[in-house]
Structure 1
Amino acid sequence: MADELDLLRRANPVPADDPRFHDRPLDPGAEHRLQVLTRTGRAQPARTGRRPRLGPLLLDALRPRRPRDWAWTVTAAAAVGAVVLALTLSGPATVPAVAAPRPLVVETGSAPLPLDVLADRAAAQGARLGLRQGTHVQTWSLSMTSGPGARPPVTLPEERVVRWAADDSHTELVVATDPSHPGKPVVTDADPVPRTVEDGHVISRRTYPPSWSDAPPSARPPHDTRRLRAYLEEIDRLDAMDTGGLLDAVGTLLDNWTLGSRETAALTRVLADAPDLRPVGAVTDRLGRPGQAYVYADRTHSVRRMLILDPATGTVLGLEDTVTRGDPEWGVKKGDVMSYSAWLR
């Protein structure tokens, strides 16, 4: 017996002195998932111009049906010019899945629009549109795994609609759908292993009881620039909010509220004061909407962050995070889009 125990000890696959298992800085994939977890409160394994096609689909899905178990997935990047990659997925059939697409490209020859000019345009809108609690967002992100037997990154597009009732209860509907491939099978990660489902497949449908939290982002956002900046700082929860933290806080705000014209004007002015957020020119977002792009190079996390705003009103259309340095352990390469959110009214 002593000899057998000695053999087992020597065969230990995780020796105490192995440097691979010591504490070390988070890699880009882990940093991204940590940011999403702290921003949304949901863990991830490793977000359109209004589309009439989805209006009836989502309305029909909101009708009462047998409840489904809640399972949140990492959203994935899908875009114009996406490369098709055949992946072996669980489900009724094996079908091609959309791999990480190319980042959005600024239109050649387009003139960058300074944020302070756009802030003036936003202020000129007055109170044309009102503030509404709830959100409608199409999301894409990259689901990643690492280690032995890791699968390639997978694209997981989802649409989420959150609506609040008069009694402060709210419903949340999450649907698997990819507007760039209407009617095609969609990959979802609601189960332990990614699988393909029909376009419009309901991932989750939940009703939440009344909530009266008075802390951001549940609290009503102000339309005064100074107070809105403090509101976003409270979401970010850092001593001094940098540009990356500001963009995270903006994403959280828009995942909870559909801003009115006055709140949009205040937000645009806050963004105009952000250091290192530079205008780069015109883009067409992933839902075909014209926008102006503003880029922040997050060198700490090796990510390029592109914020897309409506050039007439300052409304935030989307936010794209793109890898600037590859990581073989997670299967990501420079230029891969890790996440994209497109917000609608």
Structure 2
Amino acid sequence: MADELELLRRANPVPSAGPRFGDRPLDEHAERRLDLLLRGDERGLDRLPHGEERRPRPRHLRRWTWGLGSVAAACVAVLTLMFSGTATAPAVAAPRPLVVEAGSAPVPLDRIAGRAAAAGDTLRLIEGTHLQAWSLAMTSGPGARPPVTLPEERLVRWKADGSHTELVVATDPRRPGKPVVTDADPVPRTVEDGHVLSRRTYPPSWSDAPPVARPPHDAVRLRAYLEEIDRTGPLDTPGLLDAVAGLLDNWTLGTRENAAVVRILADAEGLRPAGAVTDRLGRGGQAYVYDDRAHSVRRMLVLDPSTGAVLGLEETVTRDDPEFGVKSGDVLSYRAWMR
């Protein structure tokens, strides 16, 4: 399984010493719980001060999907997890919301579209994708447990005969070499970094339906292509962002396709420039934000300022939801696409 993880890291090496891996220090309570777990003293969890009680092991966890059809992601700064039938899991640091760099100048999407168009045809369209994602598993109702971060990395490659392979491993570039929480079994448990969750080979297929069909590289035809992906009615901004994500889950775009995507995004209502950000893989980008009030979600799209390539898409809740244990400002999902 180490070979598969090394394959992914060679495809997009991420230095473990990068500044993006710096998490906030644990508070006194978290340090105390972590120390008890590292010493194997589960009984000590029953003797926590300030009237705290040891939480029973959760009977089930499930992934919460918001109405937009996006998979939710981490929302807790530090979690101590205990799963039935498994050893005690280590504390898990969840991603924090991306922060726009103070004083950075927002760049209009029209300007990014112009840069992308001027880049020519330097990058080619590739069938397949390389994706790092953080998703959320959570429970609801009485006795619900805190949400759990589930990091995965996915590599999809197509072959000349129309067949393709899909490799999914449990890994978190913020914590290289550390245990990773997964619910792929589907019982949540911890696995070693690089654990293969699935490795599949699919027979030849030549579909003419999006998003499997080859995407066009002019804005008018690509918008029609994205409308076929969405299929929920007129392509509004939430639907457009979902459709672009669906496209990137199947294709690694070339220079011309990137330019067409940005041209379409430039016309999206309510998608506003926010400034410069550094994404979760350490790449510099420009952030564009859409407030989806109907679903109480803020969406942040991160673009490469030179090529217009979509680097990531983050979703953050804007309203407390006690039933699922999320609060306004918690990250619900994040996906990072790579070449």
TM value normalised by structure 1: 0.77
User: What code does the residue aligned with 2:329 have?
Assistant: G
1:94, distance to aligned residue in structure 2 (A): 1.1
Pick closer, same or farther for the CA change 1:137–1:251 going to 2, 3 Å. Answer: same
Q: Distance in 2 between matches of 1:297 and 1:161?
A: 30
| Conserved? CA contact 1:97–1:186, under 8 Å | no
Counting only pairs closer than 5 Å after superposition, residues 62-211 of structure 1 correspond to structure 2 as 77=73, 83-90=77-84, 92-98=86-92, 100-211=94-205
Is residue 267 of structure 1 aligned with residue 261 of structure 2?
A: yes
**Is 278-287 or 142-151 further displaced after alignment?**
142-151
Q: What are the Cα deviations for residues 59-112 of structure 1, in whole angstroms up to 9, with x where unaligned?
A: 8xxxxxxxxxxxx97866469xx7222111246521224254321110000000
In the alignment, what sits opposite 2:59?
none
Q: What are the Cα deviations for residues 251-274 of structure 1, in whole angstroms up to 9, with x where unaligned?
A: 000000000000001111000111
Pick closer, same or farther for the CA change 1:78–1:153 going to 2, 3 Å. Answer: closer
Q: Distance in 1 between matches of 2:232 and 2:140?
A: 30
1:151, distance to aligned residue in structure 2 (A): 2.1
2:324 aligned counterpart, secondary structure: coil
Q: Distance in 2 between matches of 1:272 and 1:102?
A: 27
Q: What are the Cα deviations for residues 156-181 of structure 1, in whole angstroms up to 9, with x where unaligned?
A: 00000000011101010110000000
1:274 aligned counterpart, secondary structure: coil
Structure 2: 5+ residue stretches without partners? 11-61, 65-70
In the alignment, what sits opposite 1:290?
284
User: What code does the residue aligned with 1:286 have?
Assistant: R
Q: Distance in 2 between matches of 1:97 and 1:195?
A: 13
1:238 aligned counterpart, secondary structure: coil
1:143 aligned counterpart, secondary structure: strand
Pick closer, same or farther for the CA change 1:256–1:86 going to 2, 3 Å. Answer: same
Aligned-residue sequence identity (percent) comes to: 76
TM value normalised by structure 2: 0.78
Pick closer, same or farther for the CA change 1:160–1:319 going to 2, 3 Å. Answer: same
Q: Distance in 2 between matches of 1:180 and 1:208?
A: 31
Pick closer, same or farther for the CA change 1:162–1:56 going to 2, 3 Å. Answer: closer
Pick closer, same or farther for the CA change 1:122–1:54 going to 2, 3 Å. Answer: farther
Structure 1: 5+ residue stretches without partners? 1-52, 60-71
Counting only pairs closer than 5 Å after superposition, residues 292-331 of structure 1 correspond to structure 2 as 292-331=286-325
Q: Distance in 2 between matches of 1:342 and 1:144?
A: 22
| Conserved? CA contact 2:74–2:332, under 8 Å | no
1:230, distance to aligned residue in structure 2 (A): 0.6
1:329 aligned counterpart, secondary structure: helix
User: What code does the residue aligned with 2:255 have?
Assistant: S
1:157 aligned counterpart, secondary structure: strand
Count residues in correspondence: 280
Pick closer, same or farther for the CA change 1:166–1:103 going to 2, 3 Å. Answer: same
Is residue 241 of structure 1 aligned with residue 235 of structure 2?
A: yes
| Conserved? CA contact 2:63–2:136, under 8 Å | no
Q: Distance in 1 between matches of 2:254 and 2:330?
A: 33
| Conserved? CA contact 2:230–2:240, under 8 Å | yes
